[in-house]
């Protein structure tokens, strides 16, 4: 396999770094998903890049490879209800911290995609553990001692980090593929909204369906869309 120009493996030498990213900040419906990934030293795959620049087929190829090869990975989801309560930025940050706290190996440093992040401040009051596969014992963010411990992990925000660092790119792939899979399952319950195609984003198809059928419990009521203002007000 010919080696292309690769993503950077890490920011700091000699410490265990986890890459963090989210998927689904912009949709009108569905959760925001977040992932944290610790990759082994020397990990390389020519397809790995910012998930938004990859084809769905490439993401689907990479997901099981990342899951198999990663030192540790975790994926979490924050529901539309919680997004409406704490806003999408706070929900994205909370989701990434929750994924970090579910890693089987505690990282020493976090590489975070974007330019907005902060220590996790604790319980929002809506800590449902929204990963559909998670159970009560897998919600470490409800333990204040664990929250305090993990909030001390240093981090670095990196603009477009998913196109620069392999662990962040891997996290972006997992967050995107898990969210797309979730929205396809949700579309079976609400076929009229076309979520298997638009993934909850404000496409014309989705907006017209809201006009005709109204909102579901999975819609983010705090998101105002100009085309829907006559419906909302």
Q: Which domains does the chain have, with CATH numbers?
A: 17-232 (3.30.420.10)
Say which DSSP state 105 is in: S
Decide: residue 215, CB within 10 A, 0-12 exposed, 13-18 middle, 19+ buried: middle
Q: Where residue 36 falls among pLDDT bands split at 50, 70, 90?
A: very high
Angstrom distance (rounded) from CA 197 to CA 206: 10
Residues annotated within the binding site are 21-22, 113
Q: With a threshold of 0.85, does the pTM exceed it?
A: yes
- List the one residue out of 110, 100, 115 whose CA is nearest residue 167: 110
151-209 residue pLDDT tens:
899 999 999 999 999 999 999 999 999 999 999 999 999 999 999 999 999 999 999 99
Angstrom distance (rounded) from CA 40 to CA 26: 31
Angstrom distance (rounded) from CA 96 to CA 125: 17
Q: Where residue 138 falls among pLDDT bands split at 50, 70, 90?
A: low
Average pLDDT, the chain: 88
Q: Is the pLDDT confidence value at 49 over 60?
A: yes
Residues annotated within the binding site for a divalent metal cation are 21-22, 113
Phi-psi region of 122 (alpha: psi -120 to 50; beta: other; left: phi over 0): left
Q: Where residue 227 falls among pLDDT bands split at 50, 70, 90?
A: low
**First-to-final CA distance of the chain:** 57
- Lookup: tokens for 168: 């962040």
109-135 residue pLDDT tens:
999 999 999 988 765 544 444 444 444
Angstrom distance (rounded) from CA 12 to CA 155: 11
pLDDT of residue 232: 47
What pairing do the DSSP bridges indicate for beta strands 109-113 and 17-23?
parallel
More confident residue, 200 or 53: 200
Q: Let me know the angle formed at the C-alpha of 138 by 86 and 102, rounded to the nearest 5 degrees.
A: 75
Q: Are 158 and 165 in contact (CB under 8 A)?
A: yes
Q: What percent of the chain has pLDDT over 90?
A: 73
Can you name the residues that pair with 8 across neighbouring β-strands?
Answer: 165
Say which DSSP state 137 is in: G
pLDDT of residue 128: 46
Q: At what angle do helices 56-69 and 166-189 cross, to 10 degrees?
A: 120
pLDDT of residue 230: 59
Q: Is the pLDDT confidence value at 233 over 90?
A: no
């Amino acid at each position: 396999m010919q080696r292309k120009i690769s993503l950077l493996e890490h920011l700091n030498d000699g410490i265990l770094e986890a890459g963090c990213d989210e998927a689904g900040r912009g949709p009108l419906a569905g959760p925001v998903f977040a992932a944290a990934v610790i990759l082994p030293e020397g990990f390389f795959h020519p397809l790995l890049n910012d998930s938004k620049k990859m084809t769905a087929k490439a993401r689907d190829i990479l997901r099981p490879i990342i899951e198999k090869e990663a030192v540790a990975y975790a994926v979490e989801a924050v529901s539309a209800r919680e997004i409406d309560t704490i806003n999408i930025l706070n929900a994205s940050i909370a989701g990434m911290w929750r994924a970090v706290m579910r890693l089987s190996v505690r990282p020493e440093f976090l590489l975070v995609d974007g330019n907005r992040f902060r220590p996790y401040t604790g319980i929002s009051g809506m800590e449902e553990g929204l990963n559909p596969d998670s159970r009560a014992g897998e919600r470490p963010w409800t333990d204040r001692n664990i929250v305090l411990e993990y909030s001390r992990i240093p981090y670095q925000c990196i603009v477009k980090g998913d196109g620069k660092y392999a662990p962040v790119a891997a996290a972006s792939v997992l967050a995107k593929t898990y969210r797309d899979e979730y929205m396809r399952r949700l579309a079976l319950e609400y076929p009229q909204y076309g979520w298997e195609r638009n993934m909850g984003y404000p496409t014309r198809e989705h907006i017209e369906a809201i006009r005709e059928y109204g909102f579901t419990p999975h819609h983010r009521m705090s998101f105002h869309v100009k085309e829907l203002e006559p419906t909302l007000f």
